[in-house]
Structure 1
Amino acid sequence: MQVIHDEKDLRFYIEFEEGEAELTYTYPEEGVLDLDHTFVPEPQRGKGVADKLVKASMEFVKSKGYKFIPSCPAVDTYVKRHPEYKELEQEI
């Protein structure tokens, strides 16, 4: 299961026969990703797919020295379970 980062379309995704799982984002300001929506096809749910997408996004944010906004509930939940990424969250 490979996560692909499409910087042009502002998303991380994984391809499956049933379609794509994706985590989309926007840049509300320079150096800040608003991680706003996660979708996983029904047959792939409950298999850790969303976690793989979120982890890939966290590693991208970290590697660039960026911050993120966890607008998507899946992202917020992941960060609560993985507090090592909490320091990357944009202060409001």
Structure 2
Amino acid sequence: MFEYVPASNDMWGPDEGFMGGKRGPHYGLAPGIHIGASRGSPDVLKVGPVRATDASNLCVIHDRQNQRFTITLDCDGAASSAVLKYTITHDQLVELMSTEVPQSHRGKGVAAHLAKAALDFVVEENMKARISCWYIRKYVDENQHLRYQAHIEDK
């Protein structure tokens, strides 16, 4: 079970959008991760850098203002970030443009967490997405059971 932790008094309820909805919050993260969100501030899933070897506890932050999802990683004591960038067009089409993961963390599931968070956002907000990033396209193709395809617009 996930626990909602309001970031402000303007918390979205469990049936009001991205962080809730009928399926509840889900980012492929372990139960017990605290989730907070408010309109106008980043949606945060857990806080603090984590080691890439602990992939089940990766911290995904959705920064709506800068249109990106980030994970802060611990690179032998130095903080580094993995980033998924997107844009939203005037007609509410989300273009998932790129994923960037530090070399030392590639192949450890970091990009998959970013892709899942971004695609869940598209689904929860009932939007359509155009995929420009090869990795996100691969993630959708390999995870057809998650039913993202209905929200993908082909070029």
Q: When the two structures are superposed, what TM-score results if normalisation uses the length of structure 1?
A: 0.93
Query: How much has 1:65 moved relative to structure 2?
Result: 0.4
Cα distance change on mapping 1:10 and 1:2 into 2, 3 Å: same
Corresponding position: 1:88 with 2:151: yes
State the 1:16 CA deviation. 1.1
Match of 1:7 among 56, 59, 64: 64
Amino acid corresponding to residue 79 of structure 1 in structure 2: V
Q: What's 1:21 paired with? A: 82
Letter in 1 for 2:123: K
- The AA in structure 2 aligned to 1:88 is H
The percentage of aligned residue pairs carrying the same residue is 35
Distance 1:36 1:29 in 2: 16
- Give the paired residue count: 92
Aligned AA (2:125):
K
* Unaligned ranges ≥5, structure 1: none
Task: Give me the CA root mean square deviation.
Answer: 1.1
| Structure with larger Rg | 2
Instruction: Report which of the two has the higher share of strand.
Output: 1
Distance (Å, rounded) in 2 between the aligned partners of 1:77 and 1:9: 24
Give the counterpart of 1:42 among 89, 103, 122: 103
Tell me, which stretches of 5 or more residues in structure 2 are unaligned?
A: 1-57
Counterpart secondary structure, 1:17: strand
TM-score normalised by L of structure 2: 0.57
Name segments (4+ residues, structure 1) moved above 4 Å: none
Q: Which has the higher helix share?
A: 1
SS for the counterpart of 2:153 is: coil
The alpha-carbon deviation at position 28 of structure 1 amounts to 2.7
